[in-house]
Amino acid sequence: MKRTTLVLATGFVFLWNSGFIGAEYGLPYTGPFTLLFWRYLALTLVILFYLLVRKRFRWVGWKVAGPNMLIGVLAHGVWLTCVLLALDNQVPAGIVALVVALQPLATGAFSGLVTGERTHFYQWLGLILGFLGVALTVTFRMDFGSYTSVFGYLIPLGSVIGITIASLIQRRMEVKKGTNKIPIDLALFYQSLATTLALALPAIFVEDLSTQWESEFIYTMTWLILAVSLGAYALMWLLIERIDATRVASLFYLGPPVTMLMAWVAFGDKVQMMDVAGLGIIVGGILLSQVKQRNKVSVKESSR
């Protein structure tokens, strides 16, 4: 990997996973729904301004906008809401990241059912192994005598379900012939707009938009909007231009250890032995799920 690409990859991993830490910093000042509502309202306005200045904004019709808005609600709204609800229930950021790490495994295993592509046995086995790794860690962390504890540790599974469904819809759009694709910035606008609208109801009627506009909260929101939502996203696409998408996707696997390290530095969250054991099992599942794919790629390259 070239030095520039390595710098981009390092920056992406840092910015993307700092979102877990930033969310935990912001929660004392507002509720989960309200935090996300302000974040995505601001993000939508920033992207809209950019599109208008570049003269790229246009209505693409419900046939194209609808699927992108659904992806936004699932991949941004459901995913991040479950993450913030878990953090709000005192689940350590590193553990939330550990559970969410199941998403690439789940997407790979279920993609065949949605797109018609073949799903290998190793992908299913990798998903099962990854799930066992999460179950091991969460079981030892969970206080079964507390409803709040049980609820908190199970919430991140909602994130996995939401973003997996969104990824499968996106994958189906890519492989389905005749699907009208739109530029990334325009797609992100429709996704962000739908997320804002979906979060407006619970933010207003459940949390009354109650927010303490302290300087720490404003700094946190600025970081989440510019550094995470825009910066990390931009770095991801710069990386995709330099290396294949599969290698970029593998960077998400660094989420749990990087987030655990960040949470230890920021909040003093301790890493337990079962956290390391669960992480090791998940890594084993990830490697196992890619064995068949690597072999397949090698065969194709040797036949050229």
At 245 the pLDDT is: 56
Per the CB < 8 A criterion, the answer to whether 121 and 115 are in contact is no
Task: Round the average pLDDT of the chain to a whole number and report it.
Answer: 83
Kindly write down the DSSP assignment for every residue of 32-47, as one continuous string.
HHHHHHHHHHHHHHHH
At 110 the pLDDT is: 76
Per the CB < 8 A criterion, the answer to whether 95 and 275 are in contact is yes
d(CA 14, CA 84): 19
- The answer on pLDDT for 179 being more than 70 is no
Q: What is the mean pLDDT of residues 137-142?
A: 77
Q: What is the pLDDT of residues 224-252, one digit of tens each?
A: 999 999 998 888 878 877 765 556 666 77
Q: What is the pLDDT of residues 21-68, one digit of tens each?
A: 999 999 999 999 999 999 999 999 999 999 999 999 999 999 899 999
Q: What is the mean pLDDT of residues 173-196?
A: 83
Lowest-pLDDT range of 51-65, 170-184, 206-220: 170-184
Higher pLDDT, 243 or 13: 13
At 115 the pLDDT is: 66
At 298 the pLDDT is: 42
At 199 the pLDDT is: 97
Q: What is the mean pLDDT of residues 264-285?
A: 84
Kindly write down the DSSP assignment for every residue of 111-126, as one continuous string.
HHHHH-PPPPHHHHHH
At 294 the pLDDT is: 47
211 forms beta bridges with: 30
Q: What is the pLDDT of residues 140-161, one digit of tens each?
A: 777 767 777 777 888 988 988 9
Lowest-pLDDT range of 204-208, 273-277, 298-302: 298-302
Higher pLDDT, 248 or 221: 221
- The answer on pLDDT for 215 being more than 50 is yes
Q: What is the pLDDT of residues 81-132, one digit of tens each?
A: 999 999 998 888 888 888 887 777 777 777 777 766 666 777 777 778 877 8
At 15 the pLDDT is: 93
CA nearest to 227, candidates 23, 57, 4:
23
Q: What tokens appear for 244 in the block?
A: 């294949």
Q: What burial class does residue 299 get, using C-beta atoms within 10 Å of its C-beta: 0-12 exposed, 13-18 middle, 19+ buried?
A: exposed
pLDDT more than 70, % of the chain: 86
- What are the two backbone dihedrals, phi and then psi, of residue 180, each rounded to the nearest 5 degrees? -80, 115
At 248 the pLDDT is: 66
- The answer on pLDDT for 165 being more than 70 is yes
Higher pLDDT, 269 or 220: 220
pLDDT bin (cut points 50, 70, 90) of residue 177 is low
Whole-model pTM? 0.84
